[in-house]
Homo-oligomer: A and B are copies of this chain.
Amino acid sequence: MALPTPPGYRALDDKSLPQYLADLDDVRRLLGGKPEQWTVREVGDGNLNLVFIVEGPAGGVCVKQALPYVRAAGESWPMPLERAFFESSYYAAVAPYVGGLIPTIYHYSPTLYCTVMERLTPHVIQRREMIVGRRHPKAAPDVGEYIARASFFTSDLAGAFERKMDMAAIFAKNQPPVRITTELIFADPYRTNPRNRWTSPQLDEVCADFHRDGPLKAAAVRFGDKFLSGAQALIHGDLHTGSVMVTPTDTRVIDPEFAMMGPIGFDLGAYMGNLLLSWYSQPGHATAADDRKAMQAWILEQVTIFWETFRDRFLALWRSNANGDAYPVSMFSAPSDVPFLEGARRTYVDSLFADMLGFGACKMIRRILGFAHNIDFEWIKDRDRRGAAETGALLMARTLLTCPEQFHSINDVVAAVPYFVRKPGAAGQPIRL
C-alpha cells in the first residue's frame, strides 16, 4: 500500500499544477502569459516520481514530485515522500561547487514534496543516446569533473569536519534509498529472491554460478559494508548514465534522491559501470549500416577520459583548496614535506580507483541478475544476443571484483573489457561458461 500522506499533499495533475505555479512570482514570469495558456505534460519514465514539463509563452519549467510508493512496482511498494527533501538538500549542498552541471532549482515545496527546476532542453538522457549510437563527448569529462567537485568540497579534505557532520545528521535520515541499494545491489543478485529476474534460459547457468561463487560474494559484501560505513563525502547515490542529461555542449546531473554520506567510489563506479554496460550492449543494437565497433571504441575512450578527468581534477582541487581537517596542510609546511603529502594524496586517489572498480562491478551485476534492469540490454529484442551481451558484462564484473590486483590503472580495465565478449549460443539455450 502507499503510505499515508501528510496534510496538504496531493499528487499534482495538469489542473492543480498551473494553480500551484501561478503563485510563484518568478516561475509565473518565466513561463509568461496566463496559467490558462500553459501546457502540462507528464513525462516521468523513471521508477519513482511524477515529472511534468510545463510550458508557457515565454519559457518552460520542469516539476518533479515524489509519490508515496515506488512507481515502477506499483502502490504495493511504499516509498516515503521525504526523498524529495533530500534531493533538494543535495542540490543545495553541491550547487556552490559544481557550477552549471546541475539544473537550476527554483523552488522546493515541503508540503507537496515537489521541486520546480530548470527545464533542460534540448537535453536528452545519456543512456538513451548511447543505445542509439550517438556520442556526446562532453559527458564523460563533465561527469568526472562533477564527481571531483561535488565529492571533494563535501569531504573533510576541503572544510571543517563540523560541516560534514552537519550534513551527516541530515542525510542519515534518508534511509529508504539506502535500504533499496543495500538489498538490490549488494545482496539480492547473489541469492535467490523473487524480485530477481534475468534473461532466461540464456543466463540460467551464469546466474546459478554467481549464486554459488564464494569469492565473488565475499568481495560483493565487502563493498556493501563499505557503502554503509565509508562516509567520505556527500554522494549522489545513483549516478548512472540515466541520471545524466546531455547535449553536444552541455551536461547536467539529475535525480540525486539517493543522496547520502558515503564512499566517493560509489558514484565513480555507478558511472563507469554503466559505461561498460553500454559497451557490452552495443552489438545488440548493431544494424547492417553500423556494427557499433566504432561506438565501442569511443566508449572505452570515455571510460579513460572519465577516470582521468576525475583523478586530475580531484588532485588539483586538493592541492589548491586543502582547507579541511583531514590531511591538514599545516602539518606539511616544510618544502621537504611536499612529496609525502603528495604521496598521501596519490594513495587516497588510488583507493578511490579501487573502490570505483568494485562498486562499478556491483552496479553491473545488479542490472543483469537483480530487480532493476537497464534499457541498454532490455531493448535488445533477440534474447540470445541479449544474453550473450549480458554474460560478457557479468564476466568482466566478476573479474573486477575477484581479481582486483589485475587492475593497476584504467588502461588495465579498458584492455580487459573485450576479452569477456561471448557469442550468442544455440538458439534459446543457456550460455555455456
Contact = CB atoms under 8 A, between A and B. Distances in A.
Contacts of A334: 212
A106 to B, nearest CB: 29
A221 interface: yes
A113 to B, nearest CB: 20
A172 B224 CA distance: 22
A187 interface: yes
Interface stretch (A160-168, A294-302, A356-364): A160-168
A165 B172 contact: yes
A230 interface: yes
A341 interface: yes
A221 B344 contact: yes
A149 B254 CA distance: 42
B168 A172 contact: yes
B161 A182 contact: yes
A152 interface: no
A178 B166 CA distance: 13
- This chain: how many copies in the complex? 2
Contact of A173 (B156, B169, B212, B325): B169
A175 B165 contact: yes
A340 B212 contact: no
A119 interface: no
A191 B330 contact: yes
A266 to B, nearest CB: 13
A190 interface: yes
A229 B168 contact: no
A170 B169 CA distance: 7
A330 to B, nearest CB: 5
B228 A156 contact: yes
A190 B328 CA distance: 11
A309 B105 CA distance: 54
Given A169-B172, A229-B232, A336 B221 contact: no
A70 to B, nearest CB: 18
Interface in A93-115: none
Nearest to A332: B217
11 contacts: A156-B225, A161-B175, A165-B172, A187-B325, A187-B331, A214-B341, A222-B344, A224-B325, A225-B348, A229-B231, A230-B230
Interface of A: 155-157, 161-162, 164-166, 168-170, 172-173, 175, 178-179, 182-183, 187, 190-191, 212, 214-215, 217-218, 220-222, 224-225, 228-232, 261, 325-328, 330-334, 336-337, 339-341, 343-344, 347-348
